[in-house]
Structure 1
């Protein structure tokens, strides 16, 4: 029989979230059931809830895709996980597994469209939509559940399931490491992990932010350098400097200014999500043979690799732990840039909620 669980979700775009109950499907042969210990809050959760990505795909919609928990039940054919394992679920809950991209281990680029952990039609339950981690428990296919090393603090590891892999994947793809100069644009939930990951890879890291207000915070995270871009002088002083620029900002920026900071054959990668257009002039690309790229989180094997790397190098998110009843306040504070650097919800606080 399906299991009813307490959760926090949105009934209508643009309205506050509220306690709800949702049904979790039966555990199938290849599924695992997970009691959720912690779930991070990502800015893209808010984009779904506030209508930035369009109407809600289902009502209520339960967000949350930075999930860490313990396995409580496994299907009869499960081989990758056992009851009691500390595990995580990120942005995806399924994909076609057959297209070229899926076979290459890049399920996030599934040519038939991956299944988001919330808000997508659920191939395992025709007619239903997936529901996310702002809840007590979740059921997911074993192949889309990753092992969280026990040496990682589970509450601070939760944001790694989205923010961590979102910065790790492009840094790895474009060979950040010893001898490379990496600039991170923005010092929020993504940016602070971009600094930590790039430093752990051995790169020389500069934080680029509009004002001087985050200079000390950047140094505390391990950044080698800091430049305020608000008055425009940094674009001239640091022209032709960086091998990689990782743009983590979820708003339009002047691409031409930042592209001019790339040295020969340098690459700028955007990972922050904005629904507003950013004009791209081709001329700064032609100069120095520069490239501009985008990156969408990472595949399942790559996510596991990232977690193992994070455990080896002691990389976790800087977080503020909250209860379920504080979610709406957390959304307001994120919009006001009042968090360093990621909110994480205590999964135990969903118990006892009244819908």
Structure 2
């Protein structure tokens, strides 16, 4: 079978938007169920200037990927988890949301209609962005009267290129108890642009945020969860409402426990970073990314990376399942028809 690919320089893919052929759109009114969605050519959408997402930030995003295997199958990775997380976020943000079946169907349709944009094996992945937004003609501070669910996709390469060097952010906080740090609200992201920009200006890759109450405990990086390894014990901060419950995070914990590692979900003091053996970040975009160094109060600590590390072993198993190179005994992948 001859596979048609889009005209893309697959070897030059970064993590940016490459417009594909189609997007998927569904609508509903407040308190109602989403209607049957439609595929439409990728492009601009109309929006009322008084819509909830523009005026009050009433919106949620998700992120997942499609993978092309060596025998040209296309796989999704745990899409129902993204659907459930969007529903959890919608409840917090007082929004109507698609059912799990509608969400997964939308993802399948967007990948199928854009399948020529799924990179060849080993050249990248297709990043899928579901977006739920308040889109009614409203003015007062209240849940929107209408909602729109849009899903689009883009072929992508690595999120970070080169060694991952983090700096602990001591002034700005990403999330506070009782806020929206535990859901994928769009309002969680613009607030971190300033600390990230300042960190990159100093030569760092990303920032590591601390808790808002005491400033003593590690929480997460800008777009990823964090894991610390010491004496073969893997630790990661608990998802207690200020940390996003990452699907890659959840998968890595499950794989590690199957392999026999002790995994602790607990509060991690920032000083524990000084004597950790390994640190790695997880997320749909970053996958499992080893941390080269973390700087805190001008003290730089470097970590093990590469062959033989715990993080590398977990990375190889996770990506092997996602790419179809390893048998999926966990039942996580969904093959596109």
Q: Same fold (TM over 0.5)?
A: no
Query: What TM-score results when the alignment is normalised by the length of structure 2?
Result: 0.31
Q: Report which of the two has the higher share of helix.
A: 1
